[in-house]
Amino acid sequence: MAYLYFDSAATARPLPEAIDAAGRAYTEYGNPSSLHSAGLAAKRLVDTARTQVAAALHCKPERIVFVSSGTEANNQAIFGLAKIRGKRAKKIITTDSEHPSVAEPIKALEKEGFTVVRLSTKGGALDLAQLEQELQEPVAFLSIMRANNETGAVYDLPGVRKLLTKYGSDAILHCDNVQGFLKIPGDRLGTVCDLITVSAHKIGGFKGTGALYISEKIRNLPAHLSGGGQENGMRSGTENVPGIAAFGAAAEKTASTGLSHTELLREKLLAGLEDSGLIFHIPPVHLPGILHISIPGVLSSWALNLLSAKGICVSAGSACSAKEKKKGNPVLSAYGLPASEIETSLRISFDIWNTEEECAQLCEALRECAKLKR
Amino acid sequence: MREIETMNTNEVILLKYGEIVLKGLNRNYFNQLLEKNVRRALKRAPGEYELVYAQSILFVRGKEGCDMDVAAELLKKVFGIVTVCRGIECEKNMDVIYQVLREHGEELLGNARTFKCDAKRSDKKFPLTSPQICTECGAVLLETFPHLTVDVQNPEVTVMIEIRDNTAILHGKREKGAGGIPVGCEGKAMLLLSGGIDSPVAGHMTAKRGVRLEAVYFETPPYTSEAAKEKVVALAKKLAEYAGTIRLHCISLTEVQEAIAANCEERLFTLLLRRFMVRCAEQAAIKAEASALITGESIGQVASQTMLSMVVTDQAAGIPIFRPCIGLDKEEIVVRSRQIGTFEISTLPYEDCCAMFTPRHPNTHPKLEAVLEEEAKLDVEGLVARAMETDNVIFC
């Protein structure tokens, strides 16, 4: 079935460049750790990808560690920082709207005795005034996402760095940049953060590959997996060469593509839905390709089912199962949405493949969803 | 000593029939049905199998490409069989038998620490008597597995050595079969299958007593999702491992639900809906030549499952509704659901009924007159007919 795919924030369609790179890597089947020519050829593919990803992050290639996912990178960063920084300070600063792969490890550390401060992100903006106050005391590390995966809100990481400098804080700054990677014009996160998490499948690479940038400032971050000592000892396990090669190619391609197309589609949809009665949640600074909405009186799951029957794929901003509903949606609560808007929310995310024609169909289908209102 | 290297052994599975052995003149009918069900179950296993029936025991002999582990697991789900026992068939020669005991002792004994040997001879010309066979075989096992002790009173495992006309069969550890009576001997019923925990258990209990199943699932698109339907398909497939292929009717009740919500008293929504479900299930049953409906209801489990609600629901049906879980507590149902392997599927997080149509305070003591009065506001026949037009059958 041909989908009308508006869910690139969940996973993006693989780019042809990524598929080509992976295809080459599948035929170049050597083990990058082997010393023979087949091994060296595979190693070259990995190193090329390392350079490509580093260029996209504005950092040095040798500081990139390829891992299996954003989740793995976040876990390695957070548990690792707790270990190397825990003796100096017991305070961790994060936000109230992190992805579970950050929020859960930090919750685990909280149980172990760390003090956790969760900065407010109400309305989609990071509360820097609160951060300023919290920096009066020593801080072990900060973990703040670049862009929110549900609302598309972009948090002011350069502002965070400025405050750290202002107060002479030696706290380490980790950023989960899975959603923001190559989606924010002019972003040079490698010059702002000490640790950065990115993932391949959000930018047109494949699922199963991510990377962690570790700045030179951090020398002794423990490895999450130990064994054969691949990735400079930072991540044992034979490298996923096709996935890594695809990641590099996708990063290079995406960096050169620009973001005006997704931004245009987002604007078109907004204009098309102007008098529809839908509610738009638009953060002050947001990703160009994400639109978060609520359809009053129509549970997300109903809209999702109706759209799905038409082949339209979007994401429910809220949990659609009753079980999860009880837990609520911390991200949207943090944004400040009332329960009635949370349970009726949808996330629409655009990519370069979406057309204006598709956008018009989506617009019409969303208006139809609004009629399910009870 | 003869050459044993080329010893020809065969893995077999022995299936002991359950209560059908007590049947009288119909006995042959039940035997044939059970054998057919066994053959059907073995179709899901790789390779070929040969069946031989003798003295209330069905022998399953693996042939080309067979996988006896897979076969045994499948046969444990065939109703009518009380015991599933793995064994080894070999030449009826004591040297070969000793060799089999040495090589396959662990399979025959399982984790047992105590055992005894038992022997049966249908070939009375065999040089050793039964007690002699037991003594000799026991000695071989004790010598091969020094941790074993003999316990003739209460052994953990009895290793059986049967000398038959052409071969010898050795078997030990037995596992419980599915029990019950062969599916198909009691006609057919229509199971109302939701995505919950109870209805698959009700279906299993019914099939166990020999009833063939068809099932009906009511969906409410777009309020319920495709994923919820896939979950029900998975449940039906799991049930089919016991009950044989199940035809699953998927019927949309969206129009019915919308009509109820628009016209009737909120406190009766669920009850009115149930009466529509029963009507549609009955129509599907009649078409499928099924003679009763099965539901997973248990008295008082939820507000809509009070006894009085069931009484009012039943009034809408022209054929009997059986509720095998009627007297079971939720805990008991969960235990059964885990045993049959449907629990993990049932607890997947998809909605099975739409939240919008659930009344805040359902009437737990409904009066039939009041319900009929509400129903009079609806075009019952038309709604049922249009719902039945959405009937879409999936083979599970």
Comparing CA positions, the residue from A160, A168, A163, A164 lying closest to residue A189 is: A160
What's the average model confidence in pLDDT over B353-379? 83
pLDDT at B105 over 80: yes
Query: For residue A117, what are the β-bridge partners?
Result: A93
Specify the number of domains making up chain B: 2
| Structural domain ending residue among the three candidates B123, B147, B179 | B179
Q: What is the pLDDT at residue B351?
A: 64
H/E run at residue A92? strand A91-95
Domain identity same for B293 and B387: yes
**Interface A:B, Cβ pairs < 8 A:** 37
Share of chain A above pLDDT 90, in %: 90
pLDDT at A52 over 70: yes
Query: Do the chains contact at B222 and A305, CB–CB below 8 Å?
Result: yes
Domain identity same for B67 and B96: yes
- Residue A12's pLDDT band, with cuts at 50, 70 and 90, is very high
- Residue B355's pLDDT band, with cuts at 50, 70 and 90, is low
**CATH code, domain carrying B339:** 3.40.50.620
Decide the pairing of beta strands A279-281 and B81-91: unpaired
Q: Mapping DSSP to helix (H, G, I), strand (E, B) and coil, where does residue B20 land? A: helix
Domain identity same for B372 and B258: yes
Residue B4, in any domain of the structure: no
Q: What is the pLDDT of residues B289-342, one digit of tens each?
A: 999 999 999 998 887 788 999 999 999 999 999 999 999 999 999 999 999 999
Q: Which residues of A touch B351 (CB under 8 A)?
A: 301, 320-322
Q: Which domains does chain A have, with CATH numbers?
A: 16-256 (3.40.640.10), 259-370 (3.90.1150.10)
Helices (H), A232-320: 241-257, 260-272, 300-309
What's the average model confidence in pLDDT over A222-226? 92
Report, in this order, helix, strand and coil percent for chain A, each rounded to 5: 45, 15, 40
Q: What is the pLDDT of residues A112-130, one digit of tens each?
A: 999 999 999 999 999 999 9
Residue B207, in any domain of the structure: yes
Domain identity same for B339 and B201: yes
**CATH code, domain carrying B135:** 3.30.2130.30
Q: What is the pLDDT at residue B3?
A: 45
Q: What is the pLDDT at residue B362?
A: 82
Q: What is the pLDDT at residue B4?
A: 45
| Structural domain ending residue among the three candidates B152, B179, B206 | B179
Q: Mapping DSSP to helix (H, G, I), strand (E, B) and coil, where does residue A172 land? A: strand
Comparing CA positions, the residue from B257, B277, B265, B268 lying closest to residue B365 is: B268
Query: Do the chains contact at B222 and A374, CB–CB below 8 Å?
Result: no
Nearest to B222 among A309, A321, A324 (CB): A309
The DSSP output letter for A221 is P
Q: Mapping DSSP to helix (H, G, I), strand (E, B) and coil, where does residue A47 land? A: helix
What's the average model confidence in pLDDT over B137-152? 91
What does the mean pLDDT of chain B come to? 90
Sheet holding B188-192, edge to edge: B321-322, B292-294, B188-192, B212-219, B247-252, B392-395
Q: What is the pLDDT of residues B218-237, one digit of tens each?
A: 999 888 888 889 999 999 99
Mind telling me how many Å the CA of B222 is from chain A's nearest CA?
A: 5
Q: Going along chain B, which residue ranges are E strands?
A: 10-17, 49-54, 57-62, 81-91, 114-121, 149-150, 157-163, 167-179, 188-192, 212-219, 247-252, 292-294, 321-322, 392-395
The DSSP output letter for B23 is -
Residue B1, in any domain of the structure: no
Q: Which residues of B touch A308 (CB under 8 A)?
A: 225-226
Chain B interface, best mutation among A1, A3, A304, A305, by max B CB count within 10 A: A305
Q: What is the pLDDT of residues B192-209, one digit of tens each?
A: 999 899 999 999 999 999
Chain B interface, best mutation among A327, A371, A374, by max B CB count within 10 A: A374
CA distance A174 to A156: 13
Mind telling me how many Å the CA of B351 is from chain A's nearest CA?
A: 6
Q: Of the given ranges (A32-36, A324-328, B140-144, B269-273), which has the lowest mean pLDDT?
A: A324-328
* pTM of the predicted structure, to 2 decimals: 0.83
Closest chain A residue to B262, measured at CA: A374
Q: What is the pLDDT of residues A302-361, one digit of tens each?
A: 999 999 999 999 998 644 444 455 567 889 999 999 999 999 999 999 999 999 999 999
Q: What is the pLDDT at residue A179?
A: 97
- N-term to C-term CA, chain B: 55
Q: How is residue B179 written in tokens?
A: 């029990």
Helices B198-208 & B330-340, crossing angle to 10 degrees? 70
- Residue B7's pLDDT band, with cuts at 50, 70 and 90, is low
Mind telling me how many Å the CA of B345 is from chain A's nearest CA?
A: 15
Q: Which domain holds residue B270?
A: 188-395
Q: What is the pLDDT at residue B336?
A: 96
Domain identity same for B59 and B173: yes
**Which residues of A are known catalytic residues?**
320
In B316-339, which positions are buried (b, 16+ CB within 10 angstroms) versus exposed (e)? Answer: bbeeebbbbbbebeeeebbebbee
Domain identity same for B30 and B142: yes
Share of chain B above pLDDT 90, in %: 65
Domain identity same for B92 and B225: no
- Residue B53's pLDDT band, with cuts at 50, 70 and 90, is confident
Share of chain B above pLDDT 70, in %: 96
Residue B5, in any domain of the structure: no
